[in-house]
Chain A
Amino acid sequence: MATLDTAPATPSSALRDVLSQVDPKRRRKDRVMQVLVYGAFVLAMIPLVSLVWSVISKGIGRFDLYFLTHSMRNVYGGMDAGGVYHALLGTILITLLTAVISVPIGIVTAVYLVEYGKGSLARAVTFFVDVMTGIPSIVAGLFAFSLFYLVVGPQSKSGLVGAVALSVLMIPVVIRSTEEMLRLVPNELREASYALGVSKWLTIIRVVLRTAVAGITTGVMIAVSRVIGETAPLLITVGATDSINDDVFHGNMMTLPVYVYRQYAAGLVPCAPGDDACIPTINYDRAWSAALVLILVVMLLNLVARGVSRWFAPKTRA
């Protein structure tokens, strides 16, 4: 055992070699995997960038006030006309109706699960909410259609049927996000309220829900932004129309996603030679512009949702 505090011995070159390199094969593998992992990320960015760029560059051409304020009534062939007003209106009305159905049910069910839920009923509800999350949207559409067809009879298509279909998709999302927010409310707050002699239901409304309101609002808006882009269930429950229909209880309505699909499906217009007023790609152009409107609506909802959670969160500092 050396005990002298002498200067370090001469650097041993064998040791330096050992310390300066790992087996080159291992290094190479590490590098290759790093390149692959970075590559995966870049690869995923390609469709995102391409999609956003396509929608903006192809959609901006017809995206103007005229487009937003006119319907497709009396628009045919390659006419340089037509807009999304009726679809925008339909989307807003149906989505509002969906929210009116889904939000109370979703929030109260979440309250049940967090504040009351014990035993087999709660377990069953949790389980079936999971199941509901996985229902394909087209199946939700079939369900709403069958329900109204059996109850109301033929000619049952209306905005309401679509809203019921969308509610089947939205309720589980609202329950999940609200549940998460309610579980974040510290138990001390509830106990403090009970200690003041406040009853349970008032505690839930005034303390628990009040504390979680920002998070719940954010969750609801994210849920809305998810269902607003749903197409398949609306296609089979609400149908489509070229005119404005502001009655959600009667008749076909147009919605933005269905509008995008219908314009795409209409395809290229066979223009007569020399007909300068006819635009062959008019249907695709309108589809892209409507897609731009749809994406803007979804992004706006997402942004507002994030804003809400930032601005209306319970103040932690005076």
Chain B
Amino acid sequence: MAQRIDVKDLNIYYGDFLAVAGVEMSVEPRSVTAFIGPSGCGKSTFLRTLNRMHEVIPGAHVEGTVAMDGVDLYGAGIDPVAVRRQVGMVFQRPNPFPTMSIAENVLAGIKLNNKRISKSDADETVERALTSANLWNEVKDRLNRPGSGLSGGQQQRLCIARAIAVKPQVLLMDEPCSALDPISTLAIEDLVSELKADYTIVIVTHNMQQAARVSDRTAFFNLKATGQPGRLVEIDDTPTIFSSPREQATEDYISGRFG
């Protein structure tokens, strides 16, 4: 179910503007990789290239390769729509579809491929996804109520349930806790630790404690200088990054000297 991702010489452009340059990294299956770094250093931009979501912005394009288990996601004949099905994504702000009920939200991705899903299969999928997202007990009595009626943290877990209901290979999370209170944040962090048994997870976070708590490996992104493209400074096992980073910039950032 979970696949590895290998990124080689990746340059990301918006039109002529080079936003992120020369990223080279591997993401291991069934692990959590955290991206940290100051605002505007391109970590979210890079994350969105992993499921080709950045292409939504007109003029955005990449050079280099992003390979999932050896298959280049940008290779000839690869369909971005199919890629996004294999690489799920959770966003900064929870975004359940407001016109759909909780159950419909969970099934939204599945219904795209399989219009005539049987009632029992649907119920089973909803329960499994919501249970995996640690939300089942809270919402099992109101599956037909709109998802927008839930609290922010519950909505975000609903979005995670929706993303994993289609059984993706990889799950991308773009600052999933930045709009949540500390208790909800804790719930999501626990969930991430559980989900890594089944999925390859990449998480962007502003919160270094969060990176230290949930991730196996941590990548530090930074701008070379103002106006220069963002780049990957280093990636290593999380304890190493937080105790003895190779680069001075990483140490400065982690110890709070900037950013």
**A interface residue numbers (CB < 8 A to B):** 1-3, 5, 8-12, 15-16, 18-23, 26
Chain A residues near B216 (CB-CB < 8 A): 1
Where the two chains meet, the residues of B that have a C-beta atom closer than 8 Å to any C-beta of A are 3-4, 6, 26, 28-31, 67-71, 73, 77-79, 81-83, 85-86, 112-113, 216
A3 CA / B79 CA spacing, docked (Å): 30
In the complex, the answer to whether B79 meets A19 with C-beta atoms within 8 Å is yes
Q: Is the CB of A5 within 8 A of B26?
A: yes
- What separation, in Å, do the CA atoms of A3 and B216 have in the docked complex? 11
**Which residue of the partner chain A has the closest CB to B85?**
A22
In the complex, which residues of chain A have a beta carbon less than 8 angstroms from the beta carbon of B79? Answer: 19-22
Contacts known (A2-B29, A8-B67, A10-B70); A15 close to B3, Cβ less than 8 A: yes
| Residues of B with C-beta under 8 A to A23 | 113
How far does the alpha carbon of A1 sit from the alpha carbon of B85 in the complex, in Å?
24
How many CB-defined contacts (below 8 Å) exist between A and B? 55
Q: Do A20 and B78 touch across chains, with their CB atoms under 8 A apart?
A: yes
- B24 to chain A: closest CB distance in Å? 10
> Is the CB–CB distance between B30 and A1 below 8 Å?
yes
Query: Which residues does chain B contribute within 8 Å of A10, judged by CB atoms?
Result: 70
Query: Known contacts A1-B30, A2-B29: does B69 contact A18 (CB below 8 Å)?
Result: no
Q: Of A1, A9, A21, which one neighbours B82 at CB under 8 angstroms?
A: A21
Q: Which residues of A contact B30 (CB under 8 A)?
A: 1
Q: Which residues of A contact B82 (CB under 8 A)?
A: 18-22
In the bound complex, do residue A19 and residue B73 qualify as a contact, i.e. CB atoms below 8 Å apart? yes
If A2-B4, A20-B77, A22-B82 touch, does A11 touch B71 (CB 8 Å cutoff)? yes
Task: Tell me the smallest distance from the CB of B80 to a CB of chain A, in Å.
Answer: 9
Q: How far is the CA of A15 from the CA of B81 in the complex (A)?
A: 14
CA gap between A10 and B4 in the complex, in Å: 12
Which residue of B6, B26, B67, B86 contacts A18 across the interface (Cβ within 8 Å)? B86
Q: Is A26's CB under 8 angstroms from B113's CB?
A: yes
Contact A15 B113 (CB under 8 A): no
Q: A1-B31, A3-B28, A26-B113 are in contact. Are A19 and B71 (CB under 8 A)?
A: yes
Given A3-B28, A23-B113, output 15 extra A-B contacts at Cβ < 8 Å: A1-B29, A1-B30, A1-B216, A2-B4, A8-B67, A8-B69, A9-B4, A15-B70, A16-B71, A19-B71, A19-B83, A20-B78, A21-B79, A21-B82, A22-B82
Q: Report the separation of the CA atoms of residues A5 and B26 in the bound assembly, to the nearest whole angstrom.
A: 7
Question: A255 vs B181: C-alpha distance in the bound complex, in angstroms?
Answer: 68
The one of A2, A8, A18, A26 that contacts B28, using a Cβ cutoff of 8 Å: A2
Assembly CA distance A10 to B71 (angstroms): 9
The list of the 9 closest CB pairs from A to B, nearest first, reads A11-B70, A8-B70, A20-B77, A16-B71, A8-B6, A22-B81, A19-B82, A22-B82, A19-B78
Q: Are the C-beta atoms of A12 and B113 separated by less than 8 Å? A: no
